[in-house]
A and B are shown apart, each in its own frame.
Chain A
């Protein structure tokens, strides 16, 4: 029952916030924050409840099921485990931060904005908790609606094009995913004689050879579009540049692609994955290098961050398909830290963009004198995303590379090149935007981050440092997912 609330609570809170915004926008803001704070509390409670009630052998810490459409064996089935716990917690935290930051950036339809944001959080919670493939797909699609509204209603000049492109990419791949799910269900039905969409049962299906690859491709495509990986990343840079909700995208949405790969593709197709893994590694390498190279060429900081995300996701893709336990744990860490570091950067840039609508590296520069606070924070997040030792991203990247290296030296070498390239373009970005000579053409006064926001960013900084120095708690939680506890992880880190 707890699990239902983890999904329903943000949604209902969003409705309430929307309603209250008629009277006071402050109230809507406050309610959203309260709801997300409660959700963060609730997920810890759920985790504790699960830990005390289940033994180590259980696959899921906590489960809840109810027959929804008996005619087709479709259930409402939620389950929580280490991976979904970590990502869900991240979702709530990023949602909380996004609500805090939005205060100065959103000026109209405030109630609807909060509703959309919380709806999105609740939809992602649904994606992370669903153990019925039908249900998973429903959340997978429904989460697009608030996102779509948010981009259309609060964004910049070319947002309509960006939205439509994004929507069509995700919808078309989503329908193929659905087709694959149905095919999987039918194969299972042919073998067992029962229609079911239940994850625990479908996982035992043995798929015949050529069909398995097609079904696998359907799953892959949907997740690679969301991840995104080359060549399915086309939707991402315009969306980053045009929408106000890029931080949300990185913080909340992008995770779902990687989650889908980890949760569904690896276990469901464990016997055929080796056929596809080399190709995915190649795709990952291309994403890393291509993303890095294109990041050099951009003048829009948002686009640079979009391509850097593509580059990071390449590493995550390689990590996932190396199927090495170390690499998988590294992927989970990287997902969290990448959301924090790139999300932080995006929020800072969005802050700049409210007073500098024309944020372009050719026109703007030398902002250090004007906004020292933003500069210092940006520098920190850039350092984190580059993988400075002692910060969270380093742990993730290092684990992933270590894992890949043990299985495939060459791909590890290529993957490591992304880190070098990333260092160059990220530092160059900071150099151009904040240092150097102050460029003219900026008549407006630019406000620095306020004290309250400083506290917020400080919290993100602390999280990154915390994960960097003490990754053990995070790794412990995540590694329960890959069945055995992998005791050697802690030793190697120390």
Chain B
């Protein structure tokens, strides 16, 4: 039964959906990129404000969704990140010849899918959200079809995403066949009684589902698409893939794992530990070998998933809040890194390599400052967001005495350090930069970058207010 109250709970999602419709209408009347940009921003802002009217412990909206502090926090995170990406997109699209209004439409629809995922409590909303998130991305990755790698990246993404979605669906079906329900909380109740008789099918279903999940998270060994797609997609979309698309799946997966009491299913834990260790090592190791900064960030994002899985495996409240906090810090640092990259890219040079930024510090100190801060945060140097995130993960791990995982985390981050350091060293070497960077940052992008810098530093120095929010969110899981 749907009541008026329930509709109110869903208002943020409705607002984003309506924005997409409005964008289409306005484009039909008259194409104007500024109008499309403003409508998207307003829609996201509106949705963000609406999340503040939902401060409730827990509300089930039909079987599909559950609105609680955790879901609301996830929504806010997604909305903020999309907001930043729309700002990036505005700067990025300025120089393009193509018609750009549909870019915003697709972005809004994809964002709707992400919102759907973070509050979903049911296989159906899980799958629908995932598809709504993913399908617009196919188009977005190949949006500028003259780009050399755009089409290749999109095809790669379509095929692999399709296959992984099929696996996910099959896994869901197997679990449904055993337990007879698709709601997470009811699944959890049916789990224990059915465990003895149908263990094999349940585990099979679970592992199939994990294929879909890991693909979206780009965890090893389902990570192959990430570097190519990151390189081929337009930069704002790369940022979107690295943050929102990955974050929504992480938020959903954390809910799924906690609801099903994943820490009692040993096979599942072994699988996750294995994947986490592989992701950390292979992500950081391959990052070492990259010359292209976008590919480097792709591999680093693989490693970061590994870190988050370590926190997730540490169970309890501490682990859950560590995952969320790490996600927030990862969002801030990654967006900052991509924002800085936006200024380095030009229509002629779409893949910035480490060689290209050599000596950049002497030409553009502020921009290289942003890049350095982003990388320091991704490495986890104190006083940046990444350090607090890593601290929380280590804290969670130590509290559950997950020593092997933690040692792997430490060793692999030392490897990753070297990968990032190469960019840092290159920035400060005293030759003149090889490529010209004619682009002067527009005001919008400047302010966005400044805000991200502040966020990265604040999360590292004074995280008190967000800490309490996250603990509240994790508590409602």
Contact = CB atoms under 8 A, between A and B. Distances in A.
Interface in A58-101: 69-72
Contacts of A164: 418, 421-422, 425
A172 B417 CA distance: 9
Given A71-B471, A160-B425, A160-B429, A171 B417 contact: yes
B421 A183 contact: no
A395 to B, nearest CB: 37
Contact of B395 (A168, A175, A182): A182
B117 interface: no
Contacts of A71: 464, 467-468, 471
Contact of B410 (A163, A179, A183): A179
B131 to A, nearest CB: 38
Contacts of A70: 464
A178 B464 contact: no
Interface stretch (B65-73, B192-200, B328-336, B376-384): B376-384
A183 B425 CA distance: 34
A142 B394 contact: no
Interface residues of A, number: 30
Given A69-B467, A153-B430, A167 B417 contact: yes
Contacts of A290: none
B381 A152 contact: no
Interface string A150-191: 001100000010011001100110011011001100100000
Contact of B428 (A138, A141, A152): A152
Interface string B184-215: 00000000000000000000000000000000
Given A138-B382, A138-B383, A172-B411, A179 B398 contact: yes
Given A69-B464, A167-B421, A145 B381 contact: yes
B349 interface: no
Nearest to B394: A182
Nearest to A163: B425
A472 interface: no
B414 A175 contact: yes
B376 A145 contact: yes
Contact of A175 (B410, B425, B430): B410
Nearest to A140: B382
Q: How large is the interface on B (under 10, 10 to 19, 20 to 34, 35 or more residues)?
A: 20 to 34
B123 to A, nearest CB: 35
A256 to B, nearest CB: 15
A175 B410 CA distance: 6
Contacts of B428: 149, 152-153
A145 B380 CA distance: 12
Interface string B394-413: 11001100000011001101
Contacts of A368: none
B467 A142 contact: no
B425 A168 contact: no
The interface residues of chain A, by DSSP majority, are classed as helix
A153 B368 CA distance: 14
Contact of A141 (B382, B413, B421, B422): B382
Nearest to A167: B421
Contacts of A178: 391, 394
A168 B429 contact: no
Contacts of A183: 398
Interface string B308-334: 000000000000000000000000000
B463 interface: yes
B394 A179 contact: yes
Contacts of A167: 417, 421
Contacts of A349: none
Contacts of A149: 428
Given A137-B382, A160-B425, A175 B413 contact: yes
A305 B358 CA distance: 32
Contact of A142 (B362, B381, B421): B381
Contact of A176 (B383, B395, B410): B410
A126 to B, nearest CB: 11
Contacts of B421: 163-164, 167-168
Given A145-B381, A153-B430, A168-B414, 4 more contacts: A172-B410, A172-B414, A179-B398, A183-B398
Interface of A: 69-72, 108-109, 137-138, 141-142, 144-145, 148-149, 152-153, 160, 163-164, 167-168, 171-172, 175-176, 178-179, 182-183, 186
9 contacts: A72-B395, A149-B428, A152-B424, A152-B429, A160-B425, A171-B414, A172-B417, A178-B394, A182-B395
Interface of B: 362, 376, 379, 381-383, 387, 391, 394-395, 398-399, 406-407, 410-411, 413-414, 417-418, 421-422, 424-425, 428-430, 463-464, 467-468, 471
Q: Which 6 A-B pairs have the closest CB atoms?
A: A172-B414, A138-B382, A175-B410, A182-B398, A152-B428, A141-B382
